[in-house]
Structure 1
Amino acid sequence: MGDRQPNEGLTRLYRESGWTQRRFAQEVNRIATERGTPTRYQGPSVHQWLDGHMPKTEVQPLILEALSRRLRRPVTHAQAGFPQPPGDSPAAGTVDGLLDLGEQDMSPTRRSVVGASLFSVALAVPGWPEVVGRMEAVATGQTRRIGMPEVDMVVAMTEQISQLDDQFGGRHARPMAAAFLVNTVAPYLKADASEATRKAMMSAASDLCYLTGYMAVDEGVHGIAQRYYLKALELAGAAEDHLTFCTTLRGMSVQAVDLRHGPEALRLADAAAAASPQAGPRMRAFLAGQQAHASAQVGDRANALRYLREADAAMEKAESREKAFGSYDPAALNYHTSQVRFELGDMRGAVEAMQQSDKLRYSIYRRTRVKERGLLAERQFAIGHLEAACATWHTALDDFPLVQSGRADQRIAEMFRLIRPHLKNPTARHLYERARAIAPKLAA
């Protein structure tokens, strides 16, 4: 015990952060809660870490992420005086990394490890010039030759998995997508093919990686989602697929804004818009709506409203030209309008826009319907409309048993928390009893 030395690296980072020991502990606890594994550290624990007591292995990434977020740069194990974890080196290439990622995600024995991964604000996101045309990222000449029929099959499977996700949530669909990536798509990426077919396959693989990352976000495993998104960016660049590259950056922004990392969300939303110089009106609405939400979260009212006007004007042009099912639509635009109004403090306006979004949403989007009706009810509750909120929560419960979704679970769990103090109200009591019968685990 007498040989223990103070942790100079961690102490140096701690001093640079400007935090008190109590605040340091609070930030570690916040990230642990975000990950789904709450901790209750206090100032004395930080004092022990600085004094040379080695934090638990599972806590070290929380400490590094807290410092990275504060200092706005990556903080490594070595810089913080922690031992390098075994097997921490990244896989060699795009396809090898995709195989490693998919194998972790499809294996039930590894899901707890995957679920413990952290959302990183210091993640290095490649720009379009860094990844465009990287054909050397994909090894060729192995297995058999492929053609466009194999590409078409991957595209069709991705569409089917996306529809399952929309209707039933990603909890069951994501392992299916991971298995398909490992067993079928990765071998295709290594197969011999013409240049046109190879690019088309990388584009299809990129789209599937984006979808799998999106489903990981839905389940709340944010670190693994970021890894899928990075693979999607690499493959989109290799395929010179601007659309999927921009869509993925925007998806990363959505993930960040939902976790309330406003500056990162805005940076990613702006990067998505900048990487799409020839966007059509629907794509422009898709990008500007997210820029509006992220701008509102960082308190930039003027730009939030400007981007919202841009999105609205672009949507009008898109709707006049075509009715595009399955892409950014008026329901999604009204959702962004609601989010902007909420961030800017207009709760009643947020409720009105979310109600309009619900009216316009296609019925196939069941998972989104549950999640956003839950959000609508929370906002109705916040302005004192208890009975209206209960009615909306009932509509969310109608679909909830058919949906396997972490975000849907969060909304129902929040419902229990909010109405529990109001059980003397008959309407609230009836909702509570119905919800407890449908989702007993979330009532705890």
Structure 2
Amino acid sequence: MDRNRQLEGWLAQTGWSNKEIARQVASYATARGELQVRPDASSVRRWLDGMQPRPPVPAILADIISTKIGIRVTTYDLGLGEPTADRALTYHPSWTETVESVADLGRADVDRRNFLTSAPFAVIAALGPSRDWLLNTLDQLPVDRQRVRLEDVSAVQSMFAQFQQMDVFQGGGTGRLMLAAYMNDHVYPLLRRSHTEEVRGALYGAAAEQTYLLGWMAFDNGEHGIAQRYLIQALRLSEESRDPALGAHVLAGMADQATLMGHPTEGRKLAQAGRMGLKKDASPACLADLWTLEARALAAQGDTAATVRAVAEAERAFDRIDPVSEPEWARFIDSAYVFGELANAFRDIGRPTEAAFQASRSIEAAKLQGRARRGAMSHAAMAASHVQNRDLEAAHAAGLQTLKLSQRVKSSRTTSAVRDVSQRLRAFGPHPLVSDFAERARAVIAA
């Protein structure tokens, strides 16, 4: 066996003896309930000599070294193999494990490691975290903490709007890795430091907002396994912020993803959990979003009556929105977004007149704001309504707008919208307009 120089170098930075390293591993394992992990100084010496310790020892070593030296170290850095992507699917009761899981995820994301890019979406993984968040949110006690500077948190908060704007106008594939690097270097390290109660909620809230945004950007870019892991960790961070509206917002994103991935039953449950945890009048925008996504899930299930009721609730909540009083993360929940999603719900239950009406409202708002991604998706919904009304020329014209706008952003959702229009137009058979759009769509999808 070759000596593990990587592990040796990182352990040297801790200043611990082999005996102390063994004690730290055993102590951490006990706290995690891993009572079978009982290394001694000889065990540490064998690891340094190249022997591969059995799980969960590699992950424990990464965690205790990270805590000691103040920067995130992964099992990969220690020469002990790739960390597991499944760790980020867990809603950890332990705050320490939450911090290390999300930091692991960020490091692997920036490094574009193969184990993460191939991580699958696991629908069942979202339901447990939503239950835990709801139970803990409904019965929370204040926790005493110590200190981080307010200006540190303010700097994080000021960056959020910039990254969110980048996502809205350029697509999730444009700035996600830049945001992940920013989080790794500037935000997640703050979570390991002490702070006063005064800044506690703001710090955890800022971290949750940006971790959610990372998940949303990955979702928009079609990287659903990565997105799901970020969203689960954002939900856990939001619990620590003591902000039920923020947690409900994260659940909305999880609901959207579950429905899009073909699991509308789970999508509806996640949206309902968000509504149950949302305090009365906490955020009409978030409530409108949750009802909108519940409508999308119900439509995907084919429940027309329930979809119409959910749409009415979404519109009722939307009418109560006061943008000035809403949090920064809720800014995207506007007429372009809500009406566009409601158009998709009516499309899915075969109500083309209502779908076209909602799509036109969304298209107008998106055009005024210069939002190409939303405009592309709403033009696709408009095209679908024309297909359902058997109007090929109008469907083709709306599809061309989808194509045009989709090329201005980096978003897998706009590419999916183009593909959807192309598939729907096939209902008209071998017509020159169908062939024309299919040819144009192939070029866009390939690009």
Report the CA distance between 1:246 and its aligned residue: 0.5
CA distance in 2, matches of 1:337, 1:385: 21
Aligned-partner SS, 2:410: coil
Aligned residue for 1:189?
191
Q: For each residue in 1:131-160, what CA deviation from the matched residue of structure 2 results, as whole angstroms up to 9, or x when unmatched?
A: 676998x9x88xxx6322221211121211
Aligned residue for 1:331?
336
For 1:357, the aligned partner's letter is S
Report the CA distance between 1:426 and its aligned residue: 4.9
1:114–1:221 Cα contact (<8 Å) kept = no
Identify the match of residue 317 of structure 1 among 316, 320, 342: 320
Report the CA distance between 1:217 and its aligned residue: 0.9
Aligned residue for 2:180?
178
Aligned residue for 1:345?
350
Q: For each residue in 1:39-86, what CA deviation from the matched residue of structure 2 results, as whole angstroms up to 9, or x when unmatched?
A: xxxxxxxxxxxxxxxxxxxxxxxxxxxxxxxxxxxxxxxxxxxxxx98
CA distance in 1, matches of 2:343, 2:164: 25
Aligned pair count reads 350
CA distance in 2, matches of 1:134, 1:119: 33
Structure of higher CA gyration radius:
2
Where does 1:10-409 land on structure 2 (aligned, <5 Å)? 87-88=83-84, 90=87, 93-108=97-112, 110=113, 112-123=114-125, 124-125=128-129, 126-130=132-136, 146-279=148-281, 280-318=283-321, 326-361=331-366, 362-409=368-415
For 2:214, the aligned partner's letter is T
Give the unaligned 5+ runs of structure 1.
1-84
The change in CA–CA distance for 1:304 and 1:378 in structure 2 (over 3 A counts) is: closer
The change in CA–CA distance for 1:400 and 1:333 in structure 2 (over 3 A counts) is: closer
The change in CA–CA distance for 1:224 and 1:320 in structure 2 (over 3 A counts) is: closer
Give the unaligned 5+ runs of structure 2.
1-80, 89-95
The change in CA–CA distance for 1:301 and 1:321 in structure 2 (over 3 A counts) is: farther
| Higher deviation after alignment, 93-102 or 427-436 | 427-436
Large movers: runs of 4+ above 6 Å: 319-325, 420-424
Report the CA distance between 1:429 and its aligned residue: 5.2
Report the CA distance between 1:323 and its aligned residue: 10
The change in CA–CA distance for 1:210 and 1:320 in structure 2 (over 3 A counts) is: closer
The change in CA–CA distance for 1:238 and 1:171 in structure 2 (over 3 A counts) is: same
1:338–1:352 Cα contact (<8 Å) kept = yes
1:387–1:428 Cα contact (<8 Å) kept = no
2:244–2:278 Cα contact (<8 Å) kept = yes
| Higher deviation after alignment, 188-197 or 293-302 | 293-302
For 2:102, the aligned partner's letter is L
For 1:332, the aligned partner's letter is Y
Report the CA distance between 1:164 and its aligned residue: 0.8
For 1:308, the aligned partner's letter is V
Aligned residue for 1:37?
none
Aligned-pair Cα RMSD in Å: 3.2
The change in CA–CA distance for 1:337 and 1:427 in structure 2 (over 3 A counts) is: same
The change in CA–CA distance for 1:323 and 1:430 in structure 2 (over 3 A counts) is: farther
Report the CA distance between 1:281 and its aligned residue: 3.5
TM-score using structure 1 length: 0.70
Report the CA distance between 1:232 and its aligned residue: 0.9
For 2:87, the aligned partner's letter is P
The change in CA–CA distance for 1:213 and 1:383 in structure 2 (over 3 A counts) is: same
CA distance in 1, matches of 2:416, 2:251: 25
1:133–1:239 Cα contact (<8 Å) kept = no
For 1:386, the aligned partner's letter is L
For 1:404, the aligned partner's letter is K
TM-score using structure 2 length: 0.69
CA distance in 1, matches of 2:445, 2:318: 41
Percent of aligned pairs sharing the same letter: 27
For 1:409, the aligned partner's letter is T
Q: For each residue in 1:91-115, what CA deviation from the matched residue of structure 2 results, as whole angstroms up to 9, or x when unmatched?
A: 761110111100111113x1x4323
